[in-house]
Structure 1
């Protein structure tokens, strides 16, 4: 029974570290799609500049980054931004990429 508890505790400790590693650019690749979707936050695009690769979003909490609701500017791939405009309601995932908050996934909110 003690061995089972020790194995379970080790498994839980390992599982708690996986999400942090998945978005850090280390490990075996990108965050799995289901996990990525579960980490997405709601927001409204306030301003964007596809040429500069920047988007300003008024958003709810960013749980994966431990941040509260606010309005802030993120880096983003210009091609991703071409399908959006100010005023659009979106679901997005932002990650810390080399010290810069970057939108890595964005879709229209439903």
Structure 2
């Protein structure tokens, strides 16, 4: 009889643990999705190295781009809105969001620091 009671108690403990573990995993997935959204919207920091209004492009020396999983470097970006180019000049410190749009790295948000 004792073995049967111990078996039932242990079975319940395992079932409760498995349920709690599964609920914990679901919570992590939801927060992971939120982190992905936050990374996409989080601003990266950089310095304007060149403004090419004719081509609609900015050359930016930037820190890590978390949403694109890129390390710090200097590179050329298209801009989503050509009006962004009139707001910055060579040497300006900026905060920006870059995304891959139709295969091109594109600045979608931009503000001076």
Instruction: Please give the TM-score of this superposition, normalised by the length of structure 1.
Output: 0.75
Q: How many Å separate the matches in 2 of 1:4 and 1:56?
A: 49
If each structure's helix is expressed as a fraction of its own residues, which one has the higher value?
2
What is the match of residue 24 of structure 2? 8
Alignment partner of 1:53 is 2:56: yes
For structure 1, list consecutive stretches of 5 or more residues without a partner in the other structure: 23-31
What is the match of residue 85 of structure 1? 89
Q: How many Å separate the matches in 1 of 2:28 and 2:67?
A: 18
Q: How many Å separate the matches in 1 of 2:56 and 2:30?
A: 35
Structure 1 vs Structure 2 CA RMSD: 2.2
Q: Aligned runs of 1:10-89 on 2, under 5 Å?
A: 10-17=26-33, 20=36, 36=41, 39-76=42-79, 77-89=81-93
Question: How far apart are 1:4 and its partner, in Å?
Answer: 2.9
Instruction: Please give the TM-score of this superposition, normalised by the length of structure 2.
Output: 0.73
Larger radius of gyration: 2
For structure 2, list consecutive stretches of 5 or more residues without a partner in the other structure: 1-15
1:54-77 per-position Cα deviation (integer Å, ceiling 9, x unaligned): 000001111111111100000102
Query: Secondary structure of the residue that 1:87 maps to in structure 2?
Result: coil
Report how many aligned residue pairs link the two structures. Answer: 96
